[in-house]
Amino acid sequence: MKLGDQRASGNVEDRRGMGVRGGLGLGGIAIAVVAYFLGFDPGAVLQVAEQVVPQTDTRQAPTGAPADQMGQFVSKILGSTEVVWGKTFQQSRSEYRPPTLVLYEGQVRSACGLGQSATGPFYCPSDEKLYLDLTFFHELQTRFRAPGDFAQAYVIAHEVGHHVQKLSGTLRQTESALGSQNDANQASVRMELQADCYAGVWGHHAGAMNQLDQGDIAQALNAATAIGDDRLQKQTQGHVVPESFTHGSSEQRVRWFKRGMDSGSPKDCDTFSANSL
């Protein structure tokens, strides 16, 4: 990616080196790893038992774009999403309220509960923050075999997509309509695929701003393929259970990302009205 002229976002909270400690015995904390990646409802994924009283670092976390290379990279990606979604919301006569990106190591406290790096990046709608342990990018390259800076940017853009869902009211409407577990799984898949499509919308406009290099799109498509529910289930349990999908198959994730990438319009990301995903 070509981000030299991109403004680095100041909406970054750097909690690296400010770990969360405490008793995490049996029953202390329940972490549901949803496909290891990109959870849409951390309130359901991260449940902290009442008996857990973590000891948190009382230092004030630095805010603004970090000076290190990876800190600069994620800040510029966030800044790019702010430009794209700011203009998009303005066209619909709305105001875009940017989220905050929290960088952490190991464990992190959020308004949705206690998160761990093993759960992967997540968005918490209660505090409108994205949470990212940068070691996940190493996992993306080694475990998921999806290297490249645009693959990393796709991760951030996907979580920003969930923030767009929060601002547009989609998250609230979906949560209020949930019934059975099957309904919840289906709603989760549609939420995740829409966030993939929104990531594609951002990618479309990033390309228009000359921020993409040849091969960048292939990196994102590779990442979307690598973290499909069917691919992950095959790797972890040896067989695929479609009714338990929460994020969509590799083919679905690629298709919806490409849809947003091709059109550049959020209106083409209505996964909830689509008869077939």
Residues 75, 27: Cα–Cα separation, whole Å: 36
The answer as to whether 243 is a domain residue is yes
The answer as to whether 277 is a domain residue is no
Task: Decide: 164 and 16 in contact? Cβ < 8 Å.
Answer: no
pLDDT of 95 over the 60 cut? yes
What integer pLDDT is reported at residue 43 of this predicted model? 47
CA gyration radius for the chain? Answer: 18
Structural domain count of the chain = 1
The answer as to whether 125 is a domain residue is yes
Residue 117's nearest CA partner among 127, 132, 129, 130 is 132
111: phi then psi, degrees, rounded to nearest 5: -70, -10
Mean pLDDT within 40-45: 45
Categorize the per-residue pLDDT at 27 as very low, low, confident or very high, splitting at 50, 70 and 90: very low
pLDDT of 39 over the 80 cut? no
Extended beta strands in the chain, E state: 12-14, 20-21, 29-31, 46-48, 55-56, 100-104, 107-110, 113-116, 122-124, 129-133
pLDDT of 154 over the 90 cut? yes
Residues 146, 143: Cα–Cα separation, whole Å: 8
The answer as to whether 247 is a domain residue is yes
The answer as to whether 199 is a domain residue is yes
What is the per-residue pLDDT across 169-223, written as a single tens digit (0 to 9) for each? 998 877 766 655 667 888 889 999 999 999 999 999 999 999 999 899 999 999 9
Residue 146's nearest CA partner among 195, 214, 219 is 219
Which residues constitute the domain of residue 114? 12-269
The answer as to whether 5 is a domain residue is no
The answer as to whether 122 is a domain residue is yes
Q: Which comes out higher in pLDDT, residue 137 or 230?
A: 137
Mean pLDDT within 46-72: 69
* Residue in the block written with tokens 């040849």: 214
Weakest-pLDDT range from 55-59, 80-84, 237-241, 250-254? 55-59
Task: Decide: 159 and 122 in contact? Cβ < 8 Å.
Answer: yes
The answer as to whether 7 is a domain residue is no
Categorize the per-residue pLDDT at 31 as very low, low, confident or very high, splitting at 50, 70 and 90: very low
